[in-house]
Structures are given as structure tokens and as C-alpha cells.
Structure 1
């Protein structure tokens, strides 16, 4: 990925910002907040470190921007699932919103950095800046499930628990042991009965 700082056909500021945020999402997701640096983000984006600092001001501000981007993508995915469910029901299908949201959420597994950066944020509750932003993000997700997806408290709890487990499986790269560890095979078969092939294909693409 290369983000030209000055070119004959200049990129718009929002396009440059989006490309740097995409690179930062991958770096934070893989290295964590404390392990990542603005220099590593700059290298991943193909720009200079001062350019990243000029754009975001600090690593903390960059991480908050990554968190906001991840939450926006998550909410867009959930909103699309609600629309799909409404269309399916109108056509006489029996599709449930919970199933549709879950299927769309699993589709996000292809963006490891996005889901793992969310996990990184959720581990920083004690941070005076990132903690409140992460809690607000979790509250935003829960409120959407209750108000927009029509889930009851118990159903929302079960959905969030499954989502956190899927994030953990992805972060641990459990699919790497699928063929050689019977317990891992059993766990993944149960957790991803319809999307296991997708997860394994992502693993194979990264190897």
C-alpha cells in the first residue's frame, strides 16, 4: 500500500486519511496499542512518519480514529443485516435478524485487523482516553442490538458472547491447528458450522 504525499494527480485528503487508517488498523490489530508505533503505521502505508503525525497528531489519536472506523464498519454491517432481514420477511422468508447479523459479522473475519483492533481497544478500559471511547463503542453495539435489531437482553448477551469468542479464535489463529488438533477441530466445527470453509480459506491465503 502506498499513499503519495505529493503527486501530479493529488489524492483528496479524505482518501489519504482512509488509506492511512486502513494501514493503522492492520498494525494495531497485529501488534496491539502498546506494540504499535506511528513509524510502523507509516511504513505499512508507504508514507513518512511525520506525515502520519501531521495527519493525526499522536498515536493515541490515531488509535481512537481506528476504533471509530472499526465501529462504523461494524454498525454498517449490522444495519445492512437488518435491511436484509426486513426484505426477506417481506418476501415470505423466515430469516431471523439474529442469524443475518451473525452471518454478516462472520464476513468481517476477512479483515483481521478490524476485529483485532476492536479487541485491543476493549482491553484498554483503564486508559483515561481510550477506555471511555471503547466503553462507548460497546454500549453503541449493545444499544443497536436492543433497539434496532429487536433483541432481548438475553439474546443480545448471547450474540455478543459469540462475537467475542469468534474474535478470540481469529486472534489466536486457531484455524492453524484445525487439521492436527482434534479439540480445535471440534471447537471450530461447533462455533462456525457454516463459515468454517471461509475461515480456513483466510488462513490458507495468509500462509
Structure 2
């Protein structure tokens, strides 16, 4: 998925057939892709349904008709981000591709799941939308949903992946570090700031060129 089209519309990562009229579910999917990008960049308070509509290439009343309110739209985007992330983790965990014989199956699975988290950077705004949600604990609806989602991620590491508490904590801490780096758009300082360059090389030892290509820049709209 590329960040945006020439007029600021987010390019949807599920291509539609040329000339085909999209169903309401396909339009919903299109709007959620745009919502992740806009909420990721603007946060819940800063984003508007009008911005999301423009990013998706639809009218603002259509967004409201499908989702009802900005709160409902954010909750749907949060649910979508969590579902995408956990589905990616589970696919990586179930992957039976032969791995390096010099490492244990457990370490191979951990490496695949870490890679899956990095690969999700291509879904513009996914990590940042989750990070914004985690700052809204006092919101009666979003706070509750964010807490439930956060607990689901913890349970995945503990129950499905079988990590102990220290390993689970380390996974989540590194994920939050990467989310912070994305939200800061700190990629702009890569190559010019030695400390930031070192940090990037430490976090992305094998996929750095691709990460540098897809991360949002400070000048990007979202």
C-alpha cells in the first residue's frame, strides 16, 4: 500500500476490478484503510470524518452513514488494526517453512512474529492508531476497547506463543519502541543524526532499506 494518491486519497490495498461498483462492505474496507492512515497521523481528537472521507475518496455523509460517528469509526479502525496484527502474528506462528537449523523452533517463531510486526508498517497508520488508542484510557468507550485489545496481545504472547512473562514484556516493549519511532517520523533524521541512525540499525538489522522506504515522513500528510 502506498501512502496517498496525487490528491491525498489513500491507495487501498485491496484492488477493485475496473468499472466494478463497490459493495457497501468494500466501501467500508476502503474507509477503514483511510481511517487508519488519518487517525494514525492526527490522533482521535485531531482527525475528522471529513478528512477520512477525502482520504478514502468518498463523501463525508457516506462515512457517517456507514459508521454513525467519529467515535464509532475510530473503534472500528482500532478493531481492524488489532485484528490485522493478531492475524499476522498467528500466520507467522503457524508458518512451517524450514528455518535455520542452528536456532530453536521457538526462536525461529519469535523471529517470524517480530518480522510480521515490522511488515505491518506497510499498513499506513496501523501502529500509530494502536498507540493513540493506548493513550485514551480515560475515554469511556475507546479506553475500554484499547485495554481489551492490549490484553489480547499479551495473551497471544503468553498463551498462544508460550512465552514467559519476561519474554512477553520484552516483545511488547520493543513493539512500543517501534511504534514510537513511527509516530515521531524520526526516519527524517536517519543518516544525519548518529544516534538515530544507530537506533534504526539496531531495530531493523535485516530489513532496514525497506523500512526506510515505507515509513511515513514528516512532510507526508498522513
TM-score (norm 2): 0.84
Per-residue CA distance 1:80-100 (angstroms, 9 max, x = gap): 11111x4436x9674422111
Please identify, of 58-67 and 146-155, the stretch whose mean Cα deviation from structure 2 is larger: 146-155
Matches of residues 89-128 of structure 1 in structure 2 within 5 Å? 94=103, 95=105, 96-128=108-140
Question: Do structure 1's residue 176 and structure 2's residue 150 form an aligned pair?
Answer: no
The 2-side partners of 1:41 and 1:68 are apart by 17
Higher relative contact order (CA 8 A, sep 6+): 2
Q: Which residue of 1 aligns with 2:98?
A: 88
Q: Which runs of 4 or more aligned residues in structure 1 lie more than 6 Å from their structure 2 counterparts after TM superposition?
A: 204-207
Q: Which residue of 2 aligns with 1:43?
A: 54
- Structure with the higher fraction of residues in helix conformation: 1
Task: Check whether the contact 1:175–1:199 (CA below 8 A) recurs between aligned residues.
Answer: no
What runs of 5+ residues in structure 2 fail to find an aligned partner? 1-8, 13-18
Pairing partner for 1:73 from 65, 75, 84: 84
The 1-side partners of 2:216 and 2:157 are apart by 33
Task: Check whether the contact 1:28–1:117 (CA below 8 A) recurs between aligned residues.
Answer: yes
1:10 CA drift (Å): 3.1
Q: Which residue of 1 aligns with 2:23?
A: 12
Aligned alpha-carbon RMSD (Å): 2.2
The 2-side partners of 1:68 and 1:31 are apart by 18
Pairing partner for 2:169 from 114, 132, 157: 157
